[in-house]
Structure 1
Amino acid sequence: MSSFQIFRTNPAFRRYWTARSVSLVGDGIATVALLLLITGSGASATGVAALLLAQAVPRFFGPVAGALPDRFEVKRLLLLAELGQGAVFVAIALVPSNVALLVPLVALSSALATVFNAAGRTVMPRLVDEPQLMPANAWMGTAFNLQAALGPVLGGTVAALLDPRGALLVNAVSFFVGAALLLGLPRMEPSGASAGDRPGFLAGIGAGIAFTWQHRTARAIFLLLLFGIMFASLDNVVLVFLSRDVLEAGPFGFGLLGTGAGAAMVAASLWLTRPTAKFSAVALLAGGWIIAGLGIALTGAAPVLAVAVVTQAVMGLGNSIAMIGEETLLQKAVPAEMLGRVGGSLSSAAFAGSALAYAVGGFVAAAVSPRTSLLVAGIGLAVVTLLCLPGLRAGGRGETPPAADGQAVGAAPSPSA
């Protein structure tokens, strides 16, 4: 069976994948264009930080967004979030380049993206059969990785040709194209209990957080994302200092390091789309993070730029494999009616881990050398993964989940061995 079989036999998946690919590449373009717009307007470093903060803060409300797919039709949520982001980016492109105006608009866009991501967590089990989850998630990982691989270079190119405002309008169009493609998806009813048996909205949010903590596999993924990404994100903070001060690579060399990681992420996700790629979700998640940790640690020991590019590719390879394993394990180990809320909690854990890294990363980089910082980051990521492994493996043994919304829930389907 070909890797592309799922595209030929499943038009709904084909539409969803294409919609996400278009929107995600547009997001990559917008990230570059926003920074060019705000810095070109003469904003200070504080203004740039405020813009980045506006992107990050709404992501912490993942548990709130995660409760929405249990109460509203999922396709409608996806469409509203996509169209809303398109409208917001039209506004961003048209308003004056003033931090006071841009920050609330960027925050609104990030909030809509959080809603889309939470609803999107529930889509894949609705569109594909369980045996197809792994290759389907690998293809979705490819779409996500295209954002990192193509978005920045396209953003710089489009901004140079059309100016940053034109690039932001291109991103807005990508959302409208994505929404048009999503219109062809089937209706997806709320995954929670019927309206009469459904708890209040706040109670539903609390139930999702409680379920995440009580479910052994979900809790293990939560802790792995929180502390694992805290260590992994130190790579983002320290790498620029390694490139500049240790390897003396300059801006072009620093760009090569990112290119190596991005290319490896795309290659890994494409590799896992093959029908012959038979791995358990647990092996992919844990193995991927350990490979990523090894790549980060080896980057710290790289004697020259060429070696560092290779070790960053190892990091990107592991990162991509881990993301695909995480999605597949979550979809197989957590009941469908809790996927949105658990996914929202996990998204918040990931962003909290990044925030912790960015909060302490500067102090770590100042206290020890870049090489030592990367060694600590790589070893820390591997250790966190090993500590969380027993909880991850519980999902592979068919863990019986705790009760959801006060109702008894049957045993969750287990991942393939």
Structure 2
Amino acid sequence: MRALATRVPALLRERAFRRYWTAQSVSLIGDQISLIAIPLVAVLALGAGAAEMGLLKTAELLPALLLSLPAGAWIDRRPRRRRIMIAADLLRALLIFSLPLAYAAGALTLTQLYAVAFAVGGCTVLFEICNATLFVSLVPKSRFVAGSSLLNGSRAMSFVSGPGAGGLLVQLLAAPVALLADALTFLYSAALLARITPTEPPPAPSAKGYVTEGLRWALRHPTMRAMFAASGTVQFFNLMFHTLFVLYATTELGLSAGLLGTVLGSGAIGGLIGAVAAGRVVQGIGIGPTILLGYAAFTVPLLLVPLAAGATPLVIALLFLAEFLSSVGVMLVDISSGSLLAALIPDALRSRVAGASRTLNYGFRPLGAMAGGALGTALGLRPTLWIATAGATLCLLWLLPSSVPRIRTLPGATTSDEPAPEGGSREGVSGEGAEPGSVDSRL
């Protein structure tokens, strides 16, 4: 038993982090169910086309553009960010519950779907900006890569199990009913977060230029500027892609919901491999080169998706390969770039820079979704997917001339490997950090 315990990662032997990690893991599986179920609600239950899919994705992502900057400033002045996360989880559960209830009553409409998508997106903005602080309150800087690897390993596992479960639930039940699983995961996440009491950084004092200070700091920092530009490029073009992918796979490629979920879930095993390998890759080539490698592996394989045509086995093979390689890449990006961001950002600016990050990067998502819907209607699905996948590779042009490829280690990391005690502080850790993931977008 003792030998088995020593194989458990050190952070998971820490009760507070274990509860936090479990809450994130369960919620991520629910998110992946919704990722396939909500578009299928629009397509199968409500007859949405390319333009409606663009509006749906825009409604989901628009809060990141409109709310992230003011939310970051508001949260930096709050002493209890964890309580905001719990409230956001509970509200998201209620909003998701409303969809199957309306479906059962025969009253579900695209308008309600848009409204719920927008409201859930707003709650997600609050949750994720607070999460930037909670992560570094629980994890010492010397373990940022390890902590990010565990969280992104859970995300990779959700990529494997979530789409398959979502597709199966949609096929066995109905797409709106499948969303009940996601609502339950939000409730479970809230219950676990309520059981941890980490010491959070004190509220930042308000001053002139307070709201935009995080944005100005990020734009002045050359490394941050290059990473935000690369991530923003990926967000825009990948959301063009993602907006039309389910419609393309089900209509032009003729895949059923269950088969599509199975292909994506099995291909996402690459994410597990990427999460496990990220630490060793960072040790071997450095954190900056890992970021560059991750972006290349994330974007280039997606060119196989619009290339897919012909017999169903060939289509499945190309989609699987695209998903597998891209999932490896996104894990390398999120773990390495998330850890680097977590080491660069001052604690007093944490939520404001996280808000600025979501404004600069995630703000491109609704623009990409709108562009995808418009181009998909005007040019067709496959030509638009060619534009989206080729455009995403342009992210490398921001990184190559920057300082990122030359960064080998995390700035300011110490050799201390002591975890943060629950309800206590961490000796020797400055508290500089950001949200542990930075791209958070996939096939």
| TM-score normalised over the length of structure 2 | 0.75
How far apart are residue 368 of structure 1 and its match? 9.6
Mapped pair 1:267 → 2:278: no
Identity among equivalent positions (%) equals 20
Matched residues in 1 for 2:63 and 2:327: separation?
A: 26
Q: What residue ranges of structure 2 are gaps of 5+ in the alignment?
A: 413-429, 434-443
Q: Which residue of 2 aligns with 1:166?
A: 177
2:100 to 63, 74, 93: 93
How far apart are residue 283 of structure 1 and its match? 2.6
Amino acid at match of 2:403: P
Amino acid at match of 2:99: I
Matched residues in 1 for 2:241 and 2:16: separation?
A: 37
Mapped pair 1:320 → 2:331: yes
Q: Which residue of 2 aligns with 1:199?
A: 207
Matched residues in 1 for 2:267 and 2:368: separation?
A: 19
How far apart are residue 356 of structure 1 and its match? 4.6
Contact 1:70 1:192 in 2 (8 A): yes
Matches within 5 A, 1:180-195: 180-193=191-204
Q: Secondary structure at the match of 1:330?
A: helix
Q: Which residue of 2 aligns with 1:111?
A: 122
Query: Which moves more between the two structures, 41-50 or 220-229?
Result: 41-50
Query: Which moves more between the two structures, 147-156 or 40-49?
Result: 40-49
With over 3 angstroms needed to count, the CA separation of the structure-2 counterparts of 1:190 and 1:8, relative to structure 1, is closer
Contact 2:33 2:182 in 1 (8 A): yes
How far apart are residue 7 of structure 1 and its match? 4.4
Q: Which residue of 1 aligns with 2:33?
A: 29
Query: Which moves more between the two structures, 282-291 or 346-355?
Result: 346-355
Q: Secondary structure at the match of 1:272?
A: helix
Contact 2:94 2:183 in 1 (8 A): yes
Residue deviations 1:296-341, cap 9 Å, x none? Answer: 4577789965466435422221121011111100111111222222
Query: Which moves more between the two structures, 205-214 or 276-285?
Result: 276-285
Contact 1:134 1:273 in 2 (8 A): yes
How far apart are residue 372 of structure 1 and its match? 6.6
Mapped pair 1:51 → 2:56: yes
2:139 to 128, 132, 136: 128
Matches within 5 A, 1:222-237: 222-232=228-238, 236=242
Amino acid at match of 1:114: V
Q: What residue ranges of structure 1 are gaps of 5+ in the alignment?
A: 400-409
How far apart are residue 176 of structure 1 and its match? 1.0
Matched residues in 2 for 1:311 and 1:105: separation?
A: 31
With over 3 angstroms needed to count, the CA separation of the structure-2 counterparts of 1:396 and 1:233, relative to structure 1, is farther
Q: Which residue of 2 aligns with 1:405?
A: none
Query: Which moves more between the two structures, 52-61 or 297-306?
Result: 297-306
Matched residues in 2 for 1:59 and 1:371: separation?
A: 24
Matched residues in 1 for 2:230 and 2:396: separation?
A: 10
Q: Secondary structure at the match of 2:184?
A: helix
2:153 to 125, 142, 148: 142
Query: Which moves more between the two structures, 10-19 or 218-227?
Result: 218-227
How far apart are residue 126 of structure 1 and its match? 1.2
Amino acid at match of 2:211: I
Amino acid at match of 1:181: L
Contact 2:53 2:244 in 1 (8 A): no
Mapped pair 1:381 → 2:391: no
Amino acid at match of 1:381: C
How far apart are residue 28 of structure 1 and its match? 2.0
Matched residues in 2 for 1:242 and 1:157: separation?
A: 19
Mapped pair 1:70 → 2:84: no
Q: Which residue of 1 aligns with 2:358?
A: 347
1:390 to 399, 403, 408: 403
Contact 1:290 1:385 in 2 (8 A): no
Matched residues in 2 for 1:137 and 1:338: separation?
A: 20
Q: Secondary structure at the match of 1:121?
A: helix
Matched residues in 2 for 1:265 and 1:292: separation?
A: 10
Matched residues in 2 for 1:232 and 1:3: separation?
A: 37
How far apart are residue 164 of structure 1 and its match? 3.8
Matches within 5 A, 1:198-347: 198-199=206-207, 203-232=209-238, 236=242, 250-251=254-255, 258-259=264-265, 261-272=267-278, 280-296=286-302, 305=315, 306=317, 309-347=320-358
Matched residues in 2 for 1:323 and 1:191: separation?
A: 27
With over 3 angstroms needed to count, the CA separation of the structure-2 counterparts of 1:274 and 1:102, relative to structure 1, is same
How far apart are residue 78 of structure 1 and its match? 1.2
RMSD over aligned CA atoms reads: 3.9
How far apart are residue 74 of structure 1 and its match? 1.5
Contact 2:298 2:327 in 1 (8 A): yes
Contact 2:61 2:363 in 1 (8 A): no
Residue deviations 1:317-371, cap 9 Å, x none? Answer: 1121011111100111111222222122222333344445445553797699689
How far apart are residue 40 of structure 1 and its match? 4.9
Contact 1:133 1:328 in 2 (8 A): yes
Contact 1:260 1:310 in 2 (8 A): no
Q: Secondary structure at the match of 1:97?
A: coil
Amino acid at match of 2:184: V
Contact 1:192 1:198 in 2 (8 A): no
1:17 to 21, 29, 32: 21
How far apart are residue 146 of structure 1 and its match? 3.1
Contact 2:289 2:407 in 1 (8 A): no
Contact 1:300 1:374 in 2 (8 A): no
Residue deviations 1:233-262, cap 9 Å, x none? Answer: 5654787899899xx965278767644652
